[in-house]
Amino acid sequence: MGDQKGSGFDIRGSLRRVSVMARILASPLLLVVHGRAGGVIPAELLDLAHELEVERGAPVRLEALTAAEPPALPAGSALAPLLLVPLFLLPGSHVRRDVPQIAARCRRRGPLRRLPFLGSWPSWQGALADELASLKAQGGGPWLLHHPLEGPLGAAFLAHLEAVTGGRCRATPYSAPNAEDAPLPLPGPALPLALAANRLTDALPSPLGVPLLQRPRFRAVLLEALMALP
Residue 146: which region, alpha, beta or left (left: phi > 0; alpha: psi -120 to 50)?
beta
At position 122, the amino acid (one-letter code) is P
pLDDT at 10: 54
| Whether pLDDT at 16 is above 50 | no
Q: Is the dihedral of CA 92, 222, 132, 182 positive or negative?
A: negative
Query: Are residues 229 and 83 in contact, defined by beta-carbon separation less than 8 angstroms?
Result: yes
Q: What CATH number belongs to 11-118?
A: 3.40.50.1400
Q: Is the dihedral of CA 151, 153, 156, 159 positive or negative?
A: negative
How far is it, in rounded angstroms, from Cα 55 to Cα 20? Answer: 12
Report pLDDT digits (tens) over 30-55.
999 999 999 999 999 999 999 999 99
Percent of the chain with pLDDT over 70: 83
Res. 173 pLDDT band, cuts 50 70 90:
confident
How far is it, in rounded angstroms, from Cα 86 to Cα 95? Answer: 7
| Whether pLDDT at 18 is above 70 | no
Q: How high does pLDDT run on average in the chain? A: 85
Closest CA to 147 of 137, 136, 157: 157
Over range 166-190, report the average pLDDT.
69
Question: Distance from CA of residue 71 to its chain's centroid?
Answer: 18
| R_g (Cα) of the chain, nearest Å | 21
Q: Which residue has the higher pLDDT, 137 or 174?
A: 137
pLDDT at 172: 84
pLDDT at 184: 59
Res. 2 pLDDT band, cuts 50 70 90:
very low
Report pLDDT digits (tens) over 112-165.
999 999 999 999 999 999 999 988 877 767 899 998 888 899 999 999 999 999
Question: Distance from CA of residue 213 to its chain's centroid?
Answer: 8
| Whether pLDDT at 177 is above 60 | no
Note the pTM of the prediction, 2 decimals.
0.84
Report pLDDT digits (tens) over 68-97.
999 998 877 878 899 999 999 999 999 999
At position 21, the amino acid (one-letter code) is M
Over range 4-23, report the average pLDDT.
45
Query: Are residues 118 and 88 in contact, defined by beta-carbon separation less than 8 angstroms?
Result: yes
Report pLDDT digits (tens) over 205-229.
888 889 999 999 999 999 999 999 9
Vertex 9 angle, CA 5 and 13, to 5°: 90
Q: Where are the domains of the chain?
A: 11-118, 120-218
- Per-position b or e across 48-64, b if 16+ CB within 10 A of its CB: bbeebbeebebbbbbbb
Distance, first Cα to last Cα, the chain = 33
Report which secondary-structure segment, H or E, holds 30: strand 29-33
Report pLDDT digits (tens) over 191-211.
999 999 998 888 888 888 899
